[in-house]
Each structure stands twice: as structure tokens, then as C-alpha cells.
């Protein structure tokens, strides 16, 4: 891991609104994402607005440096890590503005999908993209990766539902693509870009063979390379630029705001599980099921079903199967109201009953039953990743092939798991889109494991491309597949992608090595090591789902960051880097231990059931003496007496000269420690008394629950 600081950027060029984080603990904490790559940035920038990003571009360009944008850090393909300058876009850029009664919404890249959908719920609208990581993934990442999900397919993703954007180009030009005169602004500010994009479009249209190939590739979910379909779908430079930026993974420009056309929420839903004796039977049934217009058709292979049977609340439809070569499809019917749902469900049920199913099909509208079925599907990641051997990394990958080729692809993928010795791997995903995910566990701390991963990747690439598929469907090209873009698209189209990169980012300052790479082995570099640290947190996959629920996320460290710093300290100790270890330990006590709320909310959101508070409680206990622990334990059991005594002490202190009381507390802090004895200040009020029980007013709209410690304080000044 790279740990040395380079020369800092010129503060005068950055401006006063951009914060620079240069402490080791800040750089290492923000370095980790959900991928299996790890680079340590030399510095982390937190700009506050588009102008701040434009200034950062100038400072980075002047210093001959490179920069990478990071928001939620849920990316799985290594597109949000950097060994140079990392730009945090989650601290700011959180604006959400609903317009046209919910028909449109303007969103900053730092807002999460769930936050936006919560604002839209009152209008019965939502965003089109529906990634499973919606609790933590941000709009910046969704746009940068052209993320999709379980239901949106290729018709409701960012590419199809974004109406305009405010983008910052590497040159510093800020362009609002929604302006009526946006093309004139672009031609005036960036004539080479406007003319270059139109020239590329003309060249592409002159090659019917390449046009046909791109039409086929983008008839599926496809996030491999740049979206050259933008050159076919649009004929003016602003629209082409706008749609090339979508899915470009922060390598072409920064999206400071996006305006989405929202979609209607269909609130009436019925869910069912179709269990087949064989994967072949499930795939044979898939085309007709797709034509039914089902909202979701989620595949689970036999290995997935075996894993599901180990879940505590597995539905009987799965628990009772003696799984051999079975496969299941989780399906849903969505409708605007109950009557429409009844009609659609009846038609679907009649079709299901004619299928060769291993278990009688049944659609349910019961919320608990539906939740149990979805827990099976979503619990696969939890069960496999959480049970992986300590020291290994969970790789969740995705590919896409034409639906008629899905059966062969899944069968061959299962063979590859066996041939390369990947045990416990599962296949699941969005069957109606031909998009499947697979999960495998690998360790990258020995040469043979890396060699095995290389051999598996070579076979995977050969399989997917032989089936006319795409090596990436919705997780983004990233570092993991950048060297294989040329294999998928051929020389001429890949060279065109490089032209686009050089046209928009001529100095190469944005996210090098991501989306495009001519180094065939770049996907094997900077692989993440996951040292064993402690049982409470070794299951962590660094996904960041815990972060939005953390009370101290904007003060010091998040739960993910508390865990990864423990790993970084363990790695530094293993490597004998005592200077780095001391540097991280110096700040970890306050940032990692003392400021944790230990409320357990992180455990509610964690997909592998980690409560980071358990770790922090143990660390605090190890730091505390037995006597101190006994004293505070007794105090906790008699808290009413403690607060009354505190109130008496404050009343006595209020009657004495403030310098005298302050001197006494200074002495106590010198003996017992500043964290044990609070410092008295003359501005503190006198002691309080137990307030009378209030009568609840009949027109109350809210209830205030005061902290129990507050009863020791009296009213400020002379008030009562």
C-alpha cells in the first residue's frame, strides 16, 4: 500500500471552500471501497460546489497529478480508488429538489438513492435506477456507472431517464446541458469537443458493421467501456456529451447535478417463487415469463437454494426441497391498484400452473411472506460473503448475455467454478435481462491464488464473448475489466473510445486505469489484502451500507472506516511499518473509539450482520481499568442519585468564585485525566431539580425526550 505523502497542491488554486484531508487516518479511511482493489491516496479533497471542482481540476493539472471521484464507495470494480488525489463528493452536493409534482427531480451526486426516493414517495414517484445498494449508493455513483437493478432494465436507467446535467469538464468549463443555448455555450467554450464528437459520430455511422455490433451490444445491459451508443442515439454535441458522461466512471467529467425524469410507483404487488427441477427447465420457461410483463424475474441456481436453506427464516417452499439440480425464479407482478393486480396475477398464475414446477406456484400479497421471499434472494450475498474464510475477499461480479444463451452460460460458469476450485460459489441475478451475478471468495496474499484468479478470468472472458455478451452489465468496467475492453469491442471501436478520452481529458488527469487500459495485467495490480483482525468484524466486505445510519459519520469515522483502519494497522504491523502504525494509532482512539455512539444502528443496515459497536465496546473495556469500570457500573445503576448529586455540586459551584472551582477541576483533570473530570466553566447554570410531571396537551404535535443527564442542570441565568 502506498503511504507516503507527495507535494501538496497549491492552496491558492484550490480556493477557500475546498477542504484538504492529509492525515494518515483520513487518507486510509477513505481509501477503501467495496471492490477488491486498494490504493491509498496522497490527499483527499472535499469541494463544496461545482466551482470548487473546477478549481481542483486546475490545481491537479498544474501539479501534474491525477484525481478520482468517490461518493458512496459501494462500487465493486475498483473505479473509486486512487493512489493520488481522491475527491470526496459525498460530504457536499446533497441537494434534492423535487419539481413538477414529482415528475422530475434535481439531485446532487452526494445524495443516496434511498434519500431521493423518500422525498419522492409522497408523489408516488421514484427514480428509474433501482440498485440493490440504494441505502448507501449515491446519485454520483449511479450516474457514473449507469447503474440499473432488479426492475429497471435498459429502459429506466440513468441513460434513459436523465433529462439534463450540470457537468464540469477537466478544462474547468461548467456546462448546464438543460439550457436552451447549451450547444452554443459548448461550441464557444469547447469548440474542439463539439466538433470532435460530431466527427466521431459521422465516422461511426459510415461503418454499418460497427453500427450493427453496437446496437446488439447495447440492446442488453452493458457498462463495458464508454457508451458509444450515444453517438448513434443523438445528433447534437451536448446530448452526445451528456450521454457519454453517463457510465464513464468519472473519467471524462464531473456531474455536479442531474435532472431525472421520475417513474410512477405501482403500489400493488404480488410476489411468488417458481421452483424448477433443473436449470434447463427454468431457462426454457424464461422467454414466455418475460413476455408476461413481470416486473422482476430473479434467478437462483441450485447452490443458491442450498445456501438459502441455511437461513433461519427460509420459506417452506425452499426448505422442503431436496436440492439437486434445482433452480428458482423469484417473480413479481406490479400494478397501479388492487383490481389491476388481481387481473394481472390471475393471468400470471394460470401461466405458472402450466409450467413443470417442483413446487406448486403461489403469488402472495402478504407483506411478511413477500419479505421472506426477498430475504432469500438478498440474503445470498450475506450468507456466502459472511461465511467466507478469514483473510479472503468476496468478489461479486456480473455479466450479461442474450437471454437465449443464458442457460449455456450458467452451466459453463458452474463448470468453471469446479475447474478452478472455487467452492460455495453461487449464481443469481436478473434473468429477464440475461444479467447474472456470481459470488466467489478469493485471497490475494499469495502468488498461486492470484494465478488461479488470472486463469479463471481468462476463461470467463472467453465464455462471455463467445456468447455475444458483455463482460460488465451494471457494475461498471472499473479496473477489473478495463484491459478486456479491446477484446470485446475490437481495435477500431476501442481506439474511438481512447479518442473520446483524449478529447475530453487531454491531460489525463481523471481516474487513470479505469474504463480503458492497455496494460493487459492491470487488473491484477493493487489487489486488496484483508488481514485477520478480530472476530467481530472479519466478515466485513467494506460495502459501506452501514454508513448512512451512523450518527458520527460526518464527525470522525464511519463503521466501515473504523473496521478498515483496524485492518490497515494490522497490515502495517505485519509489514514492520512502525511509523505508519504509530501514526494511525495516534488518531484512532478519538476518531475510532471515543466518538462511536455504540447504538447498533450500523448492524441494522449491515448485509453481513456486523454491529461495529460490539468492537468499540470491547476496545473501550480493554482501555478502562477494573476500578473505573466498577465505578461507572455502579453509577449507571443509581443514575438518579448521580444526577441529583451533580445538581447539588453545580449549585455549590455557582455560589463560589468561578476561578476557584475551575482551579479545582484543573487539578482533578491533571490527576485523573481530562476525559474523566469535566472542566468547570462559569457559564454553566446552577443545579436543577426533578421537574414536575407535565400534563400532555391535547393539541401536541411532537414529544420531546430530554436526555437523563439534563436533569442535573438548572435554568440558564435567573430563569426557571
Residue 58 CA to residue 62 CA, distance in Å, equals 6
pLDDT band at 720 (very low <50, low <70, confident <90, very high): very low
CB atoms within 10 A of CB 241: 28
**R_g (Cα) of the chain, nearest Å:** 28
CB atoms within 10 A of CB 4: 7
For the chain, the average pLDDT equals 92
Residue 612 CA to residue 622 CA, distance in Å, equals 16
Give pLDDT tens digits for 223-245.
999 999 999 999 999 999 999 99
Give pLDDT tens digits for 361-402.
999 999 999 988 988 888 787 788 888 888 889 899 999 999
162-168/254-261 β-pairing: antiparallel
Q: Which residues contact 64 (CB under 8 A, 6 or more apart)?
A: none
Give pLDDT tens digits for 633-680.
788 888 888 888 888 888 888 888 888 888 888 888 887 777 678 888
Global pTM? 0.89
CB atoms within 10 A of CB 503: 19
Nearest Cα neighbor of 394 from 441, 436, 438, 437 is 441
Q: Cell for 122?
A: 409522497
Alpha carbon 376 to chain centroid distance? 21
6-19 average pLDDT score: 87
Residue 553 CA to residue 138 CA, distance in Å, equals 15
Q: Cell for 587?
A: 488518531
Examine the pLDDT at 249 and tell me if it is beyond 90: yes
579-601 average pLDDT score: 95
Find out whether 102 and 125 touch, Cβ atoms under 8 Å.
Answer: yes
Residue 151 CA to residue 129 CA, distance in Å, equals 8
Examine the pLDDT at 48 and tell me if it is beyond 60: yes
Residue 325 CA to residue 302 CA, distance in Å, equals 6
Give pLDDT tens digits for 489-518.
999 999 999 999 999 999 999 999 999 999
Find out whether 368 and 292 touch, Cβ atoms under 8 Å.
Answer: no
pLDDT at 715: 78
pLDDT at 378: 80
552-573 average pLDDT score: 95
pLDDT at 212: 98
Residue 50 CA to residue 25 CA, distance in Å, equals 27
DSSP codes, 697-717:
PTT--------GGGGGB--ST
pLDDT at 668: 81
Examine the pLDDT at 708 and tell me if it is beyond 80: no
Examine the pLDDT at 321 and tell me if it is beyond 60: yes
Nearest Cα neighbor of 251 from 485, 62, 461 is 485
Ramachandran angles phi, psi of 114, nearest 5°: -65, -40
pLDDT band at 621 (very low <50, low <70, confident <90, very high): confident
Q: Cell for 177?
A: 446541458
* Element holding 168 (H helix, E strand): strand 162-168
Examine the pLDDT at 62 and tell me if it is beyond 70: yes
pLDDT band at 5 (very low <50, low <70, confident <90, very high): very low
* Element holding 528 (H helix, E strand): none
Find out whether 374 and 272 touch, Cβ atoms under 8 Å.
Answer: no
Examine the pLDDT at 618 and tell me if it is beyond 70: yes
* Polymer length of the chain: 720
pLDDT band at 4 (very low <50, low <70, confident <90, very high): very low
Distances (CA, A) of 362 to 280, 332, 372, 455: 21, 11, 14, 43
Nearest Cα neighbor of 111 from 80, 89, 138, 141 is 138
Amino acid at each position: 500500500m502506498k503511504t507516503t505523502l507527495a507535494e501538496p497542491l497549491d492552496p491558492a488554486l484550490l480556493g477557500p471552500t475546498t477542504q484538504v484531508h492529509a492525515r494518515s487516518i483520513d487518507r486510509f479511511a477513505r481509501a477503501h471501497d467495496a471492490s477488491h482493489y486498494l490504493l491509498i491516496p496522497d490527499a483527499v479533497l472535499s469541494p463544496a460546489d461545482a466551482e470548487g471542482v473546477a478549481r481542483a481540476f486546475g490545481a491537479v493539472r498544474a501539479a501534474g497529478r491525477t484525481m478520482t471521484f468517490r461518493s458512496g464507495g459501494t462500487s465493486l470494480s475498483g473505479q473509486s480508488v486512487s493512489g493520488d488525489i481522491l475527491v470526496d463528493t459525498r460530504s457536499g452536493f446533497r441537494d434534492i429538489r423535487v419539481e413538477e409534482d414529482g415528475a422530475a427531480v434535481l439531485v446532487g451526486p452526494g445524495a443516496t438513492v434511498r434519500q431521493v426516493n423518500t422525498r419522492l414517495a409522497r408523489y408516488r414517484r421514484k427514480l428509474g435506477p433501482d440498485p440493490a445498494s440504494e441505502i448507501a449508493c449515491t446519485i454520483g455513483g449511479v450516474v457514473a456507472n449507469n447503474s440499473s437493478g432488479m426492475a429497471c432494465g435498459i429502459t429506466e436507467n440513468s441513460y434513459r431517464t436523465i433529462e439534463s446535467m450540470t457537468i464540469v469538464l477537466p478544462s474547468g468549463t461548467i456546462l448546464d446541458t438543460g439550457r436552451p443555448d447549451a450547444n452554443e455555450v459548448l461550441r464557444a467554450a469547447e469548440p474542439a469537443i463539439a466538433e470532435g464528437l460530431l466527427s466521431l459520430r459521422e465516422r461511426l455511422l459510415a461503418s454499418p458493421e460497427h453500427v450493427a455490433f453496437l446496437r446488439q451490444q447495447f440492446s442488453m445491459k452493458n457498462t463495458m467501456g464508454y457508451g458509444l451508443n450515444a453517438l448513434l442515439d443523438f445528433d447534437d454535441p451536448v446530448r452526445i456529451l451528456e450521454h457519454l458522461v453517463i457510465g464513464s466512471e468519472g473519467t471524462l467529467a464531473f456531474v455536479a447535478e442531474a435532472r431525472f425524469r421520475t417513474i410512477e410507483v405501482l403500489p400493488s404487488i404480488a410476489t411468488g417463487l417458481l421452483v424448477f427441477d433443473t436449470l434447463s427447465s427454468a431457462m426454457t420457461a424464461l422467454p414466455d415469463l418475460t413476455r408476461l410483463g413481470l416486473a422482476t424475474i430473479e434467478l437462483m441456481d441450485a447452490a443458491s437454494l442450498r445456501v438459502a436453506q441455511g437461513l433461519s427464516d427460509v420459506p417452506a417452499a425452499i426448505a422442503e426441497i431436496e436440492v439437486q439440480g434445482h433452480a428458482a425464479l423469484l417473480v413479481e407482478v406490479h400494478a397501479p391498484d388492487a383490481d389491476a393486480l388481481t387481473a394481472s396475477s390471475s393471468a400470471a398464475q394460470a401461466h405458472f400452473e402450466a409450467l413443470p414446477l417442483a413446487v406448486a406456484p403461489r403469488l402472495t400479497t402478504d407483506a411478511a411472506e413477500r419479505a421472506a421471499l426477498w430475504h432469500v434472494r438478498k440474503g445470498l450475498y450475506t450468507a456466502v460473503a459472511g461465511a467466507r474464510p478469514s483473510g479472503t475477499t468476496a468478489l461479486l461480479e456480473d455479466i450479461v448475455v442474450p437471454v437465449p444463451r443464458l442457460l449455456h452460460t450458467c452451466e459453463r460458469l458452474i463448470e468453471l467454478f469446479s475447474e478452478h476450485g472455487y467452492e460455495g460459489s453461487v449464481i443469481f441475478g436478473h434473468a429477464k435481462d440475461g444479467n447474472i451475478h456470481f459470488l466467489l471468495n478469493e485471497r490475494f496474499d499469495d502468488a498461486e491464488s492470484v494465478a488461479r484468479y488470472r486463469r479463471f478470468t481468462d476463461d470467463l472472458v472467453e465464455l462471455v464473448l463467445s456468447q455475444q455478451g458483455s463482460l460488465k452489465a451494471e457494475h461498471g468496467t472499473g479496473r477489473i475489466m478495463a484491459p478486456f475492453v479491446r477484446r470485446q469491442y475490437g481495435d477500431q471501436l476501442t481506439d474511438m473510445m481512447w479518442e473520446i478520452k483524449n478529447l475530453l481529458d487531454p491531460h489525463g488527469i481523471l481516474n487513470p486505469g479505469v474504463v480503458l487500459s492497455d496494460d493487459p495485467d492491470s487488473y491484477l495490480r493493487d489487489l486488496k489484502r484483508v488481514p485477520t483482525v478480530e472476530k467481530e468484524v472479519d466478515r466485513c466486505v467494506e460495502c459501506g451500507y452501514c454508513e448512512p445510519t451512523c450518527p458520527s459519520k460526518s464527525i470522525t469515522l464511519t463503521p466501515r472506516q473504523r473496521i478498515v483502519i483496524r485492518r490497515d494497522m494490522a497490515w502495517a504491523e505485519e509489514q514492520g511499518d512502525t511509523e505508519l502504525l504509530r501514526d494511525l494509532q495516534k488518531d484512532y482512539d478519538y476518531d475510532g473509539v471515543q466518538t462511536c455512539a455504540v447504538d447498533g444502528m450500523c448492524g441494522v443496515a449491515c448485509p453481513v450482520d456486523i454491529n461495529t459497536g460490539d468492537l468499540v465496546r470491547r476496545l473501550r473495556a480493554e482501555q478502562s481499568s477494573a476500578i473505573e469500570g466498577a465505578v461507572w457500573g455502579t453509577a449507571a445503576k443509581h443514575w438518579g442519585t448521580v444526577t441529583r448529586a451533580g445538581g447539588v455540586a453545580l449549585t455549590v459551584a455557582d455560589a463560589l468564585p468561578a476561578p476557584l472551582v475551575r482551579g479545582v477541576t484543573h487539578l482533578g483533570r491533571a490527576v485523573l485525566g481530562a476525559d474523566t473530570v469535566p472542566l468547570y466553566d462559569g457559564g454553566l447554570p446552577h443545579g436543577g431539580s426533578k421537574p414536575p410531571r407535565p400534563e400532555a396537551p391535547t393539541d401536541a404535535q411532537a414529544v420531546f425526550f430530554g436526555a437523563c443527564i439534563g436533569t442535573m442542570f438548572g435554568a440558564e441565568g435567573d430563569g426557571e
